[in-house]
Amino acid sequence: MLTHPTLDKLRALKFTGMAVALAEQMQMPDIEELAFEERLGLLVDRELTERENRRLTSRLRRARLKHQAALEDIDYRHPRSLDKSLIHALATCRWVTEHLNILITGPTGVGKTWIACALAQKACREGHTVQYLRLPRLLQDMAIAKGDGRYSKLLATLAKTEVLILDDWGLAKLTAEHRRDLLEILEDRHGTRSTLATSQFPIEKWHDVIGDPTLADAILDRLIHNAYRLELRGESMRKHIPKHPDDATPSPSSPVTA
């Protein structure tokens, strides 16, 4: 059999993993010792791995995570009241499949956003869609979307995203329009998708941060009551080292290991 035409056909069919694996097999002097079924199995395994790696890379690119973070690189040495057992439980991503939320609170510099991105990166590795957004910027974009006709499409996009990160919750003062937009977002996701919010404010102050008592009740009802809580404490990690100790993650294009 002519091998080069076969390689060309595999590439034409976009079976790039199989093409690479076949080219490697052609260079192995003892490959003929394997049965046809074994060699074919190796080719198929390589193709599946290549495709999943491409899908993971695509999910991470669309997620636009602020940090290239991974749960395996979390630093538990710094005293910040980080519950290791809870992190291990969240690493299973059952919170995503069960449509539960995560709320991460704590002072500036304790790693709230980094941990949020690490949890989101694990969700991407498990095949879930993710999007990272700073809440103040999102609310500004929604106001612009109303003016140019993209509002409904933006809401639909947010609604279908399996994990939505709302970073810097409560950092900017909410207007009446912001509160209504936020309620629309959370109403679409309640019980069907997972939301991960980070904030410098403790959860018991979120009602006051939102402002309007009626809308605050509605918003928090859809966010808090089915949520895991990570309440971090301690000094800023930036005071002690120039770079976040957790921030030593592999490239988003790294091979899938989970």
Query: Per-residue pLDDT tens for 4-31?
Result: 788 888 888 888 888 888 888 888 888 8
Average pLDDT, the chain: 86
Query: What pLDDT does residue 256 have?
Result: 34
Q: What pLDDT, in 10s, does the model give residues 180-212?
A: 999 999 999 999 999 999 999 999 999 988 988
Whether residue 22 is found in the same domain as residue 47: yes
Task: With a cut of 70, say whether residue 84 has pLDDT above it.
Answer: yes
- Beta strand 227-231 with 194-199 is unpaired
Query: What pLDDT does residue 146 have?
Result: 93
Query: What pLDDT does residue 3 have?
Result: 59
Whether residue 74 is found in the same domain as residue 194: yes
Whether residue 32 is found in the same domain as residue 145: no
Indicate whether 172 belongs to any domain: yes
**Exposure b/e, 194-208, CB count within 10 A at least 16 = b:** bbbbbbbeebeebee
Model confidence band, residue 240 (pLDDT cutoffs 50, 70, 90):
low
* The two three-digit tokens of residue 203, written as one number: 């959860």
Claim: this prediction has a pTM higher than 0.85:
no
Residues whose CB falls within 8 Å of the CB of residue 106, separated by 6 or more in sequence, listed in order: 80, 112, 200, 230, 231, 232, 233, 234
Helices (H), 91-212: 94-97, 112-125, 135-148, 151-160, 176-189, 206-210
Indicate whether 8 belongs to any domain: yes
Tally of structural domains, the chain: 2
Task: With a cut of 70, say whether residue 242 has pLDDT above it.
Answer: no
Q: Per-residue DSSP letters for 183-207?
A: HHHHHHHTTTSEEEEEESS-GGGHH
Domain residues for the domain of 7 are 3-60
Map residue 164 onto helix, strand or coil: strand
* The two three-digit tokens of residue 235, written as one number: 């000094």
Indicate whether 254 belongs to any domain: no
Whether residue 24 is found in the same domain as residue 124: no
Query: What pLDDT does residue 239 have?
Result: 60
Whether residue 145 is found in the same domain as residue 112: yes
Of residues 136 and 37, the one with the higher pLDDT is: 136
Q: Tell me what percent of the residues of the chain surpass a pLDDT of 70.
A: 90
Contact between residue 196 and residue 164 where contact means Cβ atoms under 8 Å apart: yes
Q: For residue 166, what is the enclosing H or E element?
A: strand 163-167
Whether residue 52 is found in the same domain as residue 115: no
* The two three-digit tokens of residue 149, written as one number: 């006709």
List beta partners, residue 194.
163
Task: With a cut of 50, say whether residue 255 has pLDDT above it.
Answer: no
Amino acid in the structure at residue 53: N
Lowest pLDDT segment from 54-58, 150-154, 157-161, 162-166? 54-58
